[in-house]
Structure 1
Amino acid sequence: MTTTWTTVLPSPVGDLLVAAGDDGLRAVLFTPHRHPPADRGTWRSDDAHPVLRTASEQLAAYFAGDLRAFDLPLAPRGSAFQLRVWEALRSIPYGGTASYGDLARRLGAPGAARAVGLANGRNPLSIVVPCHRVVGARGTLTGYAGGLERKRALLDLEAGALVL
């Protein structure tokens, strides 16, 4: 069974459960989180794990407004389609948004907006893989595993409208 090392980080949007393996960052989850990863293996607390330390530093810099792009080894677990969607999320620029339809078109599957939404909702790397930047077709806020209040706070932070 794979060991996953975890730490809990306080943040301006609530505590974050951050998890990493020897292969990289596996999860950044809100507490509570609507869709936590199903296959958690063995999770153990370890504040000193190097990936967790780097993730902690980068998340603190993000919330301070000093970091716009994360530079972490990522190792999320998901289906091939989910991994493609999560990679596409990383192309949405800091302070920008995209709709589910936009992402589906980027993936070459223009009719797959609903499937993109489902994969987006299962993103285990909240904030780092910016699923909060995905909005409805008319720019409206739609579901978010951390709740719409957190989604709005993250978008406001990136727009410079909120200092956390």
Structure 2
Amino acid sequence: MPTDTQPKEAPAETARRVTAELQHQIEQHYYTEARMLQDGLYREWLEHLVAPDIHYWLPVYEQRFRRDKRPAPTPDDAAIYNDDYAMLKMRVERLYTGQVWMEDPPSRIRHNISNVEAYHTEIPGELRVYSNFTIQRHRRQTEHYTHTGGREDLLRQDGTTFKLARRKIDLDARVVQDKNLYFFA
């Protein structure tokens, strides 16, 4: 894994891009996911778009000098999110209790997904997908936050749809000004 100062690895030269038709299906899947999250359909997102063996990970990166060759974070290191299905379900269910004060009233959120690149893996039906995101979050009257970053996903084809099996989120900001990160990227 690259450190924050090393260039990220490009897909292997042997990685095979998906067809234009499959690329379109993947992009439509991401647009549906964005709409579900924007509309607060968290249970439906979890049930229909997330695999039971999910690893949803937002590692903590350090801003380092190029000469600092320490390894990049692993899932064993400190993370903002390092969730499996049970943890995601717990976070989702908390949102429906009305007791998450930071989300009462709920934030208005917009997800914009771009730069989607999809590749076949060695396992049939599994796809490695890279994408960028911008999340606009508005809370109450005057709170407005913008989060940008990238995602590295592992999608599994599930009939005519896809299930998210792995998501690694890389926020661009190393110091987040938002009061909380209680949203899904």
TM-score, structure 2 length as denominator? 0.26
Higher helix proportion: 1
Higher strand proportion: 2
